[in-house]
């Protein structure tokens, strides 16, 4: 997807590679600090990831890592893992200074569209105090399926069916 979102400047969707791992780790850590504060838990897995963890995710053939760049800078990313008819979404991050511009919405929509045709359902989870992400996911048609306990809070599990074009 090329186009204009929020602040001026072209935003380009791309598959991320090993060469992007360091920048992706930095983006991920910056983006998850807000969630850590909200949940009073600085041991969130995305904050504990190392460069080797990020490189392993990028190298995993079952995971696709998408990103948006603006002027060469990585400003948003998401991981998609396909397992049969299910696509598990994780690590949706937007640079803190670019949040609220629609990048998360556009990236998630583009990544969903790019998943293999056999995928019929998308699943993800977030913390119960993640107001922004919960709003975004519900706005995009995700519905809560259940909650599971985490360190002092609940994880909210959501899913949505893949929308098919009529015809």
Q: Model confidence over 92-142: pLDDT tens digits?
A: 999 999 988 999 999 999 889 989 999 999 999 998 988 889 999 999 999
Interhelix angle 21-39/131-139, nearest 10 degrees:
110
pLDDT of residue 32: 85
- Model confidence at 3: pLDDT above 50: no
In this structure, of 16-20, 85-89, 109-113, the range with the lowest mean pLDDT score is: 109-113
Residue whose pair of structure tokens reads 């990236």 in the numeric block = 107
Between CA 115 and CA 119 the distance in angstroms is: 7
Listed residue (95, 102, 111, 139) closest to 4, CA to CA:
102
Q: What is the mean pLDDT of the chain?
A: 88
For 73: left if phi > 0, alpha if psi spans -120 to 50, otherwise beta; the answer is beta
pTM value is: 0.85
Mean pLDDT calculated for residue range 160-167: 72
Between CA 119 and CA 132 the distance in angstroms is: 26
Listed residue (154, 137, 135) closest to 146, CA to CA:
154
Residue 45 binned pLDDT confidence (cut-offs 50, 70, 90): confident
Q: What is the CATH number of domain 2-118?
A: 3.40.630.30
């Amino acid at each position: 997807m090329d186009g204009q979102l929020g602040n001026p400047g072209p935003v380009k969707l791309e598959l991320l590679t090993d060469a992007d791992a360091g920048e992706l780790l930095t983006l991920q850590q910056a983006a998850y600090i807000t969630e850590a504060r909200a949940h009073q838990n600085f041991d969130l897995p995305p904050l504990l990831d190392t460069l080797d963890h990020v490189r392993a995710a990028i190298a995993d053939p079952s995971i696709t890592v998408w990103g948006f760049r603006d002027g060469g800078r990585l400003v948003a990313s998401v991981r998609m893992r396909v397992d049969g008819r299910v696509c598990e979404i994780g690590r949706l991050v937007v640079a803190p200074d670019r949040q609220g511009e629609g990048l998360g919405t556009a990236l998630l929509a583009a990544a969903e569209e790019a998943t293999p045709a056999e995928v019929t359902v998308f699943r993800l989870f977030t913390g119960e105090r993640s107001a922004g992400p919960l709003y975004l996911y519900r706005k995009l048609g995700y519905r809560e399926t259940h909650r599971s306990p985490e360190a002092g809070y609940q994880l909210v599990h959501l899913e949505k069916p893949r929308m098919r074009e009529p015809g």
